[in-house]
Copies of this chain bind each other. A is one copy, B any other.
């Protein structure tokens, strides 16, 4: 039976005997029962029936004795829901459809039950629904019938299942659900609030279970994960929804290399077989290298065109704007060498690049943006710069632990969050020159997109207190529960948040 061998039985316990998409010449002569949606009728001869697995052709009997059945089938509107019983037969020679997975067979109908007749729909259901985004959202239950969306939802479900198997069954992680009705996080400006029954008191929907998972490590859970629903009140953006799901992982007695190996193994294990095999370990790069060579902390490493520092070249230049740039504190002159740029770029392209440079001047990833813009321009002119099927995973390491506050550059703020541990060799700098401290933070980047980030955390109360009080000048009493927990036998621990389930 199915259960014993863990064989997938998508027709178990239902009215159907088979799914539409699984039928082939192996079933020739068998009586089958299918349930599904009418994709379309053809010449009053065929009903094309669809379920989640694919399409099958139902042959409408033409004999006088089957006139009732014929009438019932010919009356069907598109997207009506039926159960059809019939016999699988080989299609007559020459009528096979090589473009259809079940194109060798058809089902000669012997009975039909109409579950529901469908009204006229606002758009047609095809492999890919071609209508406005807003209409697709309004009739999401129709949009999801397209084979593309069916495949996407199933792929996500299977990916998540594989990740769970890897974490639970291979590495002994414990799936713990943490509360979402929580108290406000200090500094959590973008949190939704939920009024409680007590007037003037609110819950808060947290942006991540960061505090919970650190407390779970203090609790000796050893290895925690959660497909965590998170919330962010900043209005909808194209790539950010108010609620989203992150793969949240935390481990005790681990270092950066351990977390990196875990995540590499996780992606390898859960990667869909049809997308090829991922090779690990992934490339690593320090933050300093990323900024120097790519002008951004999440470089797209599918192509080179690295930044070139021309400071030495123009050291004694008399060109005024270059001299002025070089004389600024931290000022530099850098170039991107665009292969065939002279040939492929038009005057308006150069004008556009100049515009970008002017509007974004003084903002950090300007040079990185210009590099990406040049690549996109080259591609729009037909040059091949990036292989669209390539997957360049990259770890960016050794981020600065603190950055000057934008509104007051004399003050420091955490580059990520105040729980990140310093690099062991930089720990002493916490007391003497905190701005130079590098953190044990790591970002996972894929083709220039940040798809995850995490860190080894501070596990000593005294160090956490020093960071909060002396470096960040924050009120440590807001995090007294965490400080107390760290003083109660906290193991060394670290983790990561992976964002890609929300894309």
Binds B, one of A65-73, A254-262, A342-350: A254-262
- What is the CB-to-nearest-CB distance from A495 to chain B, in angstroms, rounded to a whole number? 12
Is A121 part of the binding interface, using a Cβ–Cβ cutoff of 8 Å? yes
Partner-B contacts on A (CB < 8 A): 2-3, 6-10, 12-16, 35, 37, 50-52, 79-81, 83, 115-116, 118-119, 121, 139-145, 150, 153-154, 156-158, 160-161, 164-166, 168-172, 174-177, 179-181, 192-195, 197, 203, 205, 215-216, 218-223, 229, 231, 233, 235, 242-243, 245, 251-255, 258-259, 261-262, 265, 269, 459-460, 485-492
Nearest residue (CB) in B for A77 is: B489
Nearest residue (CB) in B for A177 is: B245
Closest 5 CB pairs of A and B: A10-B172, A144-B219, A79-B489, A118-B489, A13-B258
Q: Is the CB of A491 within 8 A of B115?
A: yes
Q: Is the CB of A144 within 8 A of B233?
A: no
- What is the CB-to-nearest-CB distance from A478 to chain B, in angstroms, rounded to a whole number? 17
Q: A35-B252, A80-B489 are known contacts. Are A220 and B150 too (CB-CB below 8 A)?
A: yes
Q: Is the CB of B116 within 8 A of A460?
A: yes
Q: A220-B51, A253-B35, A490-B81 are known contacts. Are A485 and B15 too (CB-CB below 8 A)?
A: no
Q: A14-B253, A81-B489, A251-B14 are known contacts. Are A220 and B145 too (CB-CB below 8 A)?
A: yes
Q: Is the CB of B13 within 8 A of A170?
A: no
Q: Is the CB of A16 within 8 A of B215?
A: no
- What is the CB-to-nearest-CB distance from A482 to chain B, in angstroms, rounded to a whole number? 10
Q: A6-B169, A177-B245 are known contacts. Are A35 and B219 too (CB-CB below 8 A)?
A: no
- What is the CB-to-nearest-CB distance from A479 to chain B, in angstroms, rounded to a whole number? 14
- What is the CB-to-nearest-CB distance from A33 to chain B, in angstroms, rounded to a whole number? 10
Q: A141-B218, A144-B221, A218-B141 are known contacts. Are A492 and B194 too (CB-CB below 8 A)?
A: no
B residues in contact with A115, CB < 8 Å: 459, 491-492
Which of B116, B172, B487 touches A8 (beta carbons < 8 Å)? B172
Nearest residue (CB) in B for A115 is: B492
- Given A8-B169, A181-B243, list of 6 further CB < 8 A pairs? A6-B170, A14-B252, A37-B220, A160-B175, A192-B194, A192-B203
CA distance A451 to B78 in the complex (A): 40
CA distance A165 to B157 in the complex (A): 12
30 chain-A/chain-B pairs, Cβ below 8 angstroms = A3-B269, A6-B165, A6-B170, A7-B170, A8-B170, A8-B172, A10-B171, A12-B172, A13-B251, A14-B253, A14-B254, A15-B253, A16-B253, A37-B220, A37-B489, A81-B490, A115-B492, A116-B491, A118-B487, A121-B489, A143-B219, A153-B174, A153-B221, A157-B168, A157-B176, A161-B169, A177-B229, A180-B243, A181-B242, A229-B229
B residues in contact with A259, CB < 8 Å: 13
Q: Is the CB of B142 within 8 A of A219?
A: yes
Most buried by B among A116, A156, A245: A116
CA distance A10 to B262 in the complex (A): 12
CA distance A3 to B166 in the complex (A): 8
B residues in contact with A255, CB < 8 Å: 15
Nearest residue (CB) in B for A501 is: B177
Nearest residue (CB) in B for A460 is: B116
B residues in contact with A166, CB < 8 Å: 3
CA distance A161 to B81 in the complex (A): 34
Nearest residue (CB) in B for A154 is: B174
- What is the CB-to-nearest-CB distance from A123 to chain B, in angstroms, rounded to a whole number? 11
Q: A13-B254, A489-B79, A489-B116 are known contacts. Are A52 and B222 too (CB-CB below 8 A)?
A: yes
Q: Is the CB of B141 within 8 A of A219?
A: yes
CA distance A193 to B196 in the complex (A): 9
CA distance A487 to B143 in the complex (A): 15
- What is the CB-to-nearest-CB distance from A79 to chain B, in angstroms, rounded to a whole number? 4
Which of B13, B116, B192, B231 touches A490 (beta carbons < 8 Å)? B116
Q: Is the CB of A145 within 8 A of B219?
A: yes
CA distance A205 to B460 in the complex (A): 38
- What is the CB-to-nearest-CB distance from A150 to chain B, in angstroms, rounded to a whole number? 7
Q: Is the CB of A119 within 8 A of B233?
A: no
Q: Is the CB of A488 within 8 A of B223?
A: no
CA distance A16 to B252 in the complex (A): 10
- What is the CB-to-nearest-CB distance from A407 to chain B, in angstroms, rounded to a whole number? 23
